[in-house]
Amino acid sequence: MNAECIAAIASKLAPTGVVGVLRFLLFAATLLLSACTSRAPLPEKNPELPLPLQLHIQLLKPDDRLDWVVVIQREEAGIRWSMMDLLGIPQARQLLNDKTWHADGLLPPNPQARELFAALLFALTPDDELAANYPGAWQHGRQRSLPERWDIRYTQPQNFELMITKGATYQVTPLSGETP
């Protein structure tokens, strides 16, 4: 190597730990922003639901069948959501309070259940509260939609098919009996 090449190489800044830290922070900020944009929409205020409710949720898949029970209860100023398998084993528990989800108990985070809970809240919101709570929503007859998120087709007020744009489709039916 000649002296000019050595001088050119030597004049370049050597990478330091600062560059790596800045790259990591940029990546973390991007990841955080993408997580925020994919968060399920919540109502402006908790709708007046006839609580407590017990719902049978069936994931409609061509080659598989998954069933859960979802129990929805009023909890002080919030709403408690509990999802169990048919044996009664808890799968997810969340508390919705002031437009924020909070972990309820020691179960690990379950983003699919949180999306399902938010979609159920949208589906169960009374007609006269829909426009105020979900400004981008529309309803016509027995259908309701929050474009690019959820589509609902009702058979009865608490009996409906719920389609999430990410591909999952659920059949929701009420369960009779008292809440445990």
> pLDDT tens across 89-142, in order?
999 999 999 899 998 888 998 999 999 999 999 999 999 999 999 999 999 999
- Count CA within 13 A, CB hemisphere, residue 136: 9
Alpha-carbon distance 132 to 44, whole Å? 7
Q: DSSP string of 35-97?
A: HHHTSPP--SS-----SSEEEEEEEEETTEEEEEEEEEEEETTEEEEEEEETT--EEEEEEEE
Q: What pLDDT score was predicted for residue 167?
A: 79
- Average of per-residue pLDDT values in the chain: 85
Tokens representing residue 126 in the block: 């009374």
In this prediction the pTM is: 0.77
Nearest to 115 by CA among 74, 157, 165: 165
Torsion of the alpha carbons at 139, 140, 144 and 145, rounded to the nearest 10: -70
> pLDDT tens across 37-82, in order?
468 999 998 999 999 999 999 999 888 889 999 999 999 889 999 9
